[in-house]
Amino acid sequence: MSDPYRLMGVINATPDSFSDGGLFLDADAAVAQAIRLAGEGADILDVGGESTRPGAEPVALEEELRRVLPVVEGIAASLPDGPQISIDTTKAAVARRALESGATLVNDVSAFRADPEMAATVAAAGADCCLMHMRGEPRTMQRGGGPQYDDVVEEVGAFLHERLEYAMGEGIASERIMLDPGIGFGKTAQHNLELLRRLDELVALGRPIVIGTSRKAFIGRVSAAARGREEPAAPSERLGGTIATNVLAFERGARVFRVHDVGPVGDALALAAATLTGRWTARNATTTPRS
């Protein structure tokens, strides 16, 4: 039996990510974090050198390469038989260099829209990829009075279906593609909750759904409201909500979970999987979820 889920550990080699910016900007610190997350059960290590938090500014190509390449190379050298290495980028040049350095998965929050060469780069390398929905771009996605949708699940689903078809048309095998609804990317808290509630509609697209709720602002808002507070809970106080959203998403069919706190979320998912299946066994990491 294939593994019921996979854990994608976040490694932000950035100075300005919303919850851990600056902690892993040093390559040695980032590699040490990768080793720690692998020890906690990460199946994928997702390395990023450009923050995608709301309001984030773009990073120049050479600076992004300077941040991520030593980390990818260090992980590949330190964990040669370890988790799959993912590069979180929208730039084909960064993806190409990372793939040459040991990465085998490209996590593109623009779903191949930001760089016209990205799809060909992934196809040529025979790499896996994750395509995410995002309205606008990080600098603008939460501006203008809040994002508007007639039906957020329907619109996100249509977008992901179109990008899946595009990627396949560019020569990427369907079994190498994962889809991410982009929780928190150009969505309000209510949109995020609606996507989680109706996640089965996105699972019906037939590719593994990636969920990235870890420490996000909507969790802080919901948690604060439940306690009668006006100010959202800080990122360091959002673990409980992160666990809850990932367990709910798993129950609704998501299979890849992008998180900062691999150990606690992994424990929760193990219990959820045992409850739903009546079985508990050691997981064996594979390269890409195939179903």
Please list the active-site residues: 216, 258
CA atoms of 76 and 31, how far apart (whole Å): 9
Confirm if 72 and 102 have CB atoms less than 8 A apart: yes
Inter-CA distances, 222 with 7, 199, 216, 241, 244, Å: 24, 19, 11, 9, 12
Q: Write out the E strands in the chain.
A: 6-12, 44-48, 84-88, 105-108, 128-132, 177-180, 210-211, 256-259
Q: Could you tell me the strand order of the sheet in which 105-108 lies?
A: 177-180, 128-132, 105-108, 84-88, 44-48, 6-12, 256-259, 210-211
